[in-house]
A = this chain, B = another copy of it.
Amino acid sequence: MPKRVDHARRRDEIALVACKAIAEHGFARATVAQIAQTAGYTTGMVAYYFDSKQEIILAALRLILKRMDQRLQGVPGAPRAGLLEVLSEALPIDAQRRTECAFWTAFWGQLAADAHLKRLNAWVHREYRKLFERCLAEQWPESQTWPAAVQAQVLRSLITFLNGVTTSAVSSPRDWPARTQLRQLELHLLLLREWAHGAARA
């Protein structure tokens, strides 16, 4: 009986290797051949699953999004210690998250050069926004009573902050140990919440 191959798992495996390769070597140097070699496959095998590097990137984006979604949701039944803990899932504070953030930085850096990636970015940006919107509603239930403009401002400020720390910590890692990132996020959340309460009352 032939060995059964889990194709979905293989696709994920290749996408994950691609994410790492791009995080470590940048967009241009992470070729399909190099991704295949690192994953322990032949280029032909990778070509069986993906038509192009673009398709591998799309799979990597989907995978990172899925992993972020799972982390943001947390372990079922295990209560979260608030928005700080949930959003820290998006910061480059451990090896996996550093890889993902380095991937994002490389991805953003490539957008100018690539109209296809620009379209992918519009989609992935919307999906991320939805994830953080859900976190806000769950962790700060009172936010649902705030005027729409206040909610939008808070969400935008959170995403700006997360993108800013991602970029800063990936480009200057020594200045951004995990503790510093968390302290900065904590302050940002505190300030935003106070402001939103005031703005909602006004």
Contacts and interface: CB of A to CB of B under 8 A. Distances in A.
Given A163-B167, A164-B164, A110 B109 contact: yes
Contact of A108 (B122, B171, B192): B171
Interface residues of A, number: 49
Interface in A10-40: 22-29
A195 interface: yes
Interface in A167-198: 167-168, 170-172, 175, 180, 183-184, 187-188, 190-192, 194-195
Nearest to A153: B187
A28 to B, nearest CB: 4
A111 interface: yes
Interface stretch (A46-54, A75-83, A154-162): A154-162
A113 B160 contact: no
B157 A160 contact: no
A27 to B, nearest CB: 7
Interface of A: 22-29, 102, 105-114, 121-122, 125, 153, 156-157, 159-168, 170-172, 175, 180, 183-184, 187-188, 190-192, 194-195
Please list the 5 inter-chain residue pairs (A to B) with the smallest Cβ-Cβ separation, ordered nearest first.
A109-B109, A164-B164, A26-B113, A160-B164, A28-B28
26 contacts: A25-B112, A26-B113, A26-B114, A28-B113, A105-B108, A105-B111, A106-B109, A106-B112, A106-B113, A107-B109, A108-B167, A111-B170, A111-B171, A121-B171, A125-B172, A153-B184, A157-B184, A157-B188, A160-B184, A161-B164, A163-B168, A164-B164, A190-B195, A191-B191, A191-B194, A191-B195
